[in-house]
């Protein structure tokens, strides 16, 4: 048995859907989001001492279909930037994902 972590797919144990490392990362995300640049955000996550590969997997996971943490944070930062520049509207994680998908896609 044993459930897998919804973020990094490591074994999460019998309780919960998130492993100890990702739980730590989630806490860190809550501390950092909205306060720092994306580079500082990544540095902050690395300060947990968790494997960089695992951090990336965590950031790119989209367990509930609302967009990955990376997309959510990018959307928040973009919205903030738009407001600073006096533009209205807000960027959503779905929109970031859509743009990234369309950019990354090769023409058929």
Residues that bind Zn ion (CB under 5 A): 5, 7-8, 10, 19, 22
Taken as a whole, the chain contains a residue count of 108
End-to-end CA distance of the chain: 42
Least Å distance, CB 105 to Zn ion, is: 28
Which residue's CB is nearer to Zn ion, number 41 or number 58?
58
Q: How far apart are CA 16 and CA 18, in angstroms?
A: 6
Which residue's CB is nearer to Zn ion, number 19 or number 42?
19
Which residue's CB is nearer to Zn ion, number 22 or number 42?
22
Q: Where are the beta strands (DSSP E) in 18-75?
A: none
Least Å distance, CB 7 to Zn ion, is: 4
Least Å distance, CB 16 to Zn ion, is: 10
């Amino acid at each position: 048995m044993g459930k897998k972590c919804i973020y990094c797919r490591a074994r999460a144990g019998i309780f919960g859907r998130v492993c100890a490392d990702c739980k730590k990362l989630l806490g860190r995300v809550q501390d950092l989001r909205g306060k720092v640049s994306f580079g500082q955000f990544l540095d902050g996550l690395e300060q947990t001492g968790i494997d960089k590969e695992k951090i990336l997997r965590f950031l790119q996971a989209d367990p509930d279909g609302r967009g990955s943490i990376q997309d959510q944070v990018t959307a928040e930062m973009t919205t903030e930037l738009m407001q600073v520049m006096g533009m209205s509207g807000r960027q959503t994680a779905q929109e970031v994902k859509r743009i990234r998908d369309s950019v990354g896609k090769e023409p058929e």
